[in-house]
Amino acid sequence: AQKITQTQPGMFVQEKEAVTLDCTYDTSDPSYGLFWYKQPSSGEMIFLIYQGSYDQQNATEGRYSLNFQKARKSANLVISASQLGDSAMYFCAMRDNSNSGYALNFGKGTSLLVTP
Amino acid sequence: DTGVSQDPRHKITKRGQNVTFRCDPISEHNRLYWYRQTLGQGPEFLTYFQNEAQLEKSRLLSDRFSAERPKGSFSTLEIQRTEQGDSAMYLCASSFDTFNSPLHFGNGTRLTVT
């Protein structure tokens, strides 16, 4: 069974600094996809970035980038130039071919607080 | 693109009552998912539809839960004889049926069972 682990329950970062949110995963399937979502206090889940297991380069999307280390089975999210609006819960999720209907399996999340 | 919409946003009900939630997915998407999220946890998969067919149900989905997606459009999730343990955020998501397609979530329905 696949598993997503986010070991940081809470993180603080000062505005304009970069922050790394950790995610490790476990799967025996060579084909898998990793997703990061942001959940502000209002509750909606916002898709941020995707990394496929066969992608040669680390994914980037604006201020978001993925530090994908396949051998270590880690897919850490890097947020550069943090903004106050980045304060939210962040969830790492994975899909492999064992997931019914390509459903995502989520970690427990990391709470990020950006301070002025 | 109007996004995924869910109704109602909040529902307070007494234990033992039935409740029904509605989800309108993004119209181009053929997959629809229901998730449940409790405080301090990530979303947990409940069930999904490929068009109008319900193809998988999680063990979390007890017999008191039923979901439908008539004509492959909107979906409803009904909980019968609610229990206090059903209190949670119920999230609906939709996507294309390709491996790298992200799930697009609605704002959720927060259920409180008193």
Q: Strand, coil or helix: what is A113? A: strand
> Mean pLDDT of all residues in chain B?
94
* pLDDT at residue number A63: 98
Q: Are strands A46-52 and A32-39 parallel, antiparallel or unpaired?
A: antiparallel
Whether B11 contacts chain A with CB within 8 A? no
Beta carbons of B91 and A45 less than 8 Å apart: yes
Contact list, A40 vs chain B (CB under 8 Å): none
B105 contacts chain A (CB < 8 A): yes
Token pair in block for residue B57: 């149900």
Instruction: Report d(CA A34, CA B96) in Å as an integer.
Output: 16
CA A24 vs. chain centroid, Å, equals: 9
pLDDT at res. A102? 82
| Nearest beta carbon to residue A102 from set B41, B97, B106 | B97
pLDDT of A98 over the 90 cut: no
Query: E-assigned strands of chain B?
Result: 5-7, 10-13, 19-24, 31-37, 44-50, 53-57, 65-68, 75-79, 88-95, 104-105, 109-113
Q: What was the pLDDT predicted at A1?
A: 56
Give me the residue from B31, B100, B107 closest to A101, CB to CB.
Answer: B31
Instruction: Using CA coordinates, name the residue in chain B closest to A109.
Output: B42
Q: From the centroid of its chain, how far is CA A40?
A: 14
Q: pLDDT tens digit string along A30-65?
A: 999 999 999 999 889 999 999 999 998 999 999 999
Alpha carbon distance B112, A7 (integer Å)? 29
Under an 8 A CB cutoff, do A101 and B89 touch?
Answer: no
Interface touch A103/B45, C-beta < 8 Å: yes
For residue B108, the chain A residues in CB contact (below 8 A) are 43-44
**From CA A26, how far away is CA A15, in angstroms rounded?**
33
% of chain A surpassing 70 pLDDT:
98
HSE (side-chain half, CA atoms, 13 Å) at A29: 16
Q: Do A42 and B40 touch (CB under 8 A)?
A: no
pLDDT over 60 (residue A28): yes
For residue A104, the model assigns a pLDDT of 93
Q: Does residue B1 surpass a pLDDT of 70?
A: no
Q: Give yes or no for residue B114 having a pLDDT over 80.
A: yes
**Residues of B numbered 47-76 whose beta carbons fall under 8 angstroms of chain A's beta carbons: which are they?**
48, 50, 55-56
Mean pLDDT value of segment B29-53:
93
Q: How many CB pairs under 8 A join A and B?
A: 67
Chain B partners of A104 at a C-beta cutoff of 8 Å? 43, 45, 103
- Residue pLDDT, tens place only, B49-83: 998 888 888 888 889 999 999 888 899 999 999 99
**What pLDDT does residue A54 have?**
95
